[in-house]
Each structure stands twice: as C-alpha cells, then as structure tokens.
Amino acid sequence: MNSDANAGGADPADILGAVTEPIVRETEPRIRETTDTRRRLAAVEDTVPRQAVAQGIHRVALPDDELAEVVCVHCGTQGRGPRCSACERPHRIQDRFEADLGVAGLVTDRGILHARNEDAVAAAVVPDDDGRPETIVLVVCDGVSSSPDPQAASGSAARTGVDACLAALAGDRTAEEAAAAGMAAASEAVRNLVGPDGDAPSCTYVSAIVRSEADGRTSVTVSNIGDSRAYWLAPGEPAAEQPARPGHPAALSAAQKLTVDDSWAQTLVEAGAMDEQAAMADPRAHTLMRWLGADAGQHPWSADSIRTYYVESPGLLLLCTDGLWNYLPAPADLAQRALGAPTVDAARALVDYAVVCGGSDNITVALAPVSGGL
C-alpha cells in the first residue's frame, strides 16, 4: 500500500472507484501434479464477453500451445496443438514461448523448478492511418501458485486486460482510463473462474500503455496489482526519484522502477521498519497484499495503482514477473543486460539469465523500445 498523497491533477480514485483491503495471500511455490491448463480457460470463454479487436491490430497472448510446432514423443508425428493429431496423446509441455511484434518482444519460460508455466503475457500493437505503430498495450500476469489452476487466472487476466484497454482507447478514453478499464475487466474475468467447490485461482497483474500523444510526446502509463513490475531501462546513472505519484506525470530518462509492489516487503519499507534489502530477506517478503481473484474483493487495487510518465530520451520499457526481478531487481543491472541488443534477443537474454541463476519460478518478460516517438 503506497502512502503517496494526491494533490491536484486527475484523481485515480475517481477512475478506479472504491478501494478494498483484501486479506493477505501467501505466494510460496507449490508444484501441482496436474498438467490440465485449459479446463477453467475453456469455461471462462463461454461466460466472459470477449472485447472486439479492430482490424489491423496485431495481438498475441502467450503461452499458446497452438503456436508450438512439436514432435510427439510417443509416435514421432510433428504438429501443433495440445494433442498429437495421429495418436491423440498429449504433447509434452513446451518450456518456452516467444513472440516478436516488431516493436515489442515477449518471452515466457517455465523455469526449472516449476512443473508448468503459471505466468502469462499478452500484447497488442495499434497502427495509425499510415500503418505505423501508434499505441502498444502490454500485460504480464503471474499466477499465484498457492491457488488452484493459477495459470487459468493469469492467462484470462492478460488477454482480457489487453482487450479492455484496446476497447477503452478505441472509445477515446485516456490512457489512465484505459489502464483502469483493463484492471477492472481482468479482475472480473478472474473472479468468474471460481470452481464448483468454491476454489478461486488468482494472479498478479501489471500493464503498460505506450501512446503517441497529440502534442508529439510519447506517454507510458503503467498499472499494477501485486508484485509483477514495470521498469524503464536506459543508459547512464539510474534515477534516484521514486515512481511517479498518481495524477502527477513524471519524466522518463534514466533507468528506474515504475511500479510499487503490493507486497509485505514493500509494506515494511514504506512503514520505515526495514530498508529494501532487509525487507526482501524477510520470509514473508513475497506475501501479496493485493491480487486478482474471487477472494480479493471487487476492487483489488489501490488508489495509486496507475502512474503516467513521459519519455524524454530513448529507452526500453520492461514488464516482468518476479521470476526475473528476484535475480535482477536493480534497474541498472537489468539495463546492462538488455540495452544494445535486438528486442527479442534482449528479452531472451533476461530470461536466460534467470534460468541460469536457478529458474526457481516461471519467468516472463515483455520488452518494448521507446524512442520518444513511436
């Protein structure tokens, strides 16, 4: 929970509505034996209206087994989809999925210790009348492993969040209003995933909308629930400033973290009880104070979940789950490993680093270079 005060400007509370204080959910990894990642997702497709996506928009969501070209380990047939077309046995789970949207690179990886990937990432690129990218929408979600079928929550939230942002922007809403619409739609989608026994999957959520504004500037609007993060990566000394206050846009130049975690560790830091290093060493550090799920309340976000920045010099926008930032939390370290390489190669390098460090969690990265003019 962030204690920054709102003084003037657009009040995010007016956009987001009422704020609730959900109970604390533990997020320690719990490996489950089931590999059925589609039961709840199939159910939610019939109950949650899908937002229409305008023609010409390039959109992708991962993991997506329909993209995987694999060889069946049972009969040797090459094909796509969750099952072999010849013997109808399930395909072996793919460890990594990637997508190159040209102006953004997405990579999600199972890691080493988890039996399956419970993360998800979705993105869309909206062209202008000349076919050039005008808006980029990114969403990254991390399924809470202590909840049932967390991969269903993260997958549904990521896709629904992107679609709702697109629909809001198409309706001439501001980027902050679109980010709020994305969070609200993602929250509702995950709330609808409650099983017949009352078990409720849950996940974190972080989004970004990169947009060319009428005044020629490029804005970056981020929102988050939980501890998945957004970073700005740029050369030079990292920024000493704290993330922008809601309703008060800030300039982006040096490397910095753009979001504030909804976690036990962040609560300790804000209360002045510990510095960040000591708080992250606490066994409860990754305990979530806010998340998406039926047990998180109708409005599981805070009044300062949305922040806007303006780009002053070129850099990389990074959205990631804690499977990456557990190993590389500092913006400068992330920048050192990502800058100077093609976008997808840079995203791979960040994910590979986390795998080599132990891959104790699923790892997901969405990376977009922003020059100040899309």
Reported as a single tens digit per residue, the pLDDT across 95-108 is 899 999 989 999 99
User: According to the 3-state scheme, what is the secondary structure of 199-211?
Assistant: CCCEECEEEEEEE
pTM: 0.81
138-165: pLDDT as tens digits: 999 999 999 999 999 999 999 999 999 9
What is the arithmetic mean of pLDDT over 75-102?
A: 82
Q: Which pLDDT band, with edges at 50, 70 and 90, does 228 fall under?
A: very high
What is the arithmetic mean of pLDDT over 210-234?
A: 94
With CA atoms as reference, report the closest residue to 23 among 146, 179, 150: 146
What is the arithmetic mean of pLDDT over 59-88?
A: 78
- Dist. CA 222–CA 224, nearest whole Å: 7
- Dist. CA 198–CA 193, nearest whole Å: 9
Mean of all residue pLDDT scores within the chain? 81
For residue 232 the two structure tokens come to 């700005």
What is the arithmetic mean of pLDDT over 265-292?
A: 76
Residue 26: helix, strand or coil by DSSP?
A: coil
Contacts with 197 (C-beta within 8 Å, 6 or more apart), sequence order: none
* CA diameter of the chain: 65
pLDDT of residue 67: 58
Q: Is 181 exposed, middle or buried (0-12, 13-18, 19+ CB in 10 A)?
A: buried
With CA atoms as reference, report the closest residue to 170 among 256, 77, 285, 55: 55
- Dist. CA 283–CA 292, nearest whole Å: 22
Residue 119: helix, strand or coil by DSSP?
A: strand
Long-range CB pairs of 344-349, under 8 A, 24+ apart, other chains included: 344/98, 344/100, 344/105, 344/107, 345/105, 346/105, 346/316, 347/98, 347/105, 347/106, 347/107, 348/98, 348/107
- Dist. CA 348–CA 106, nearest whole Å: 9
With CA atoms as reference, report the closest residue to 224 among 248, 199, 243, 205: 205
Given a cut of 70, whether residue 24 has pLDDT beyond it is no
Highest averaged pLDDT of the listed ranges 11-15, 47-51, 227-231, 268-272: 227-231
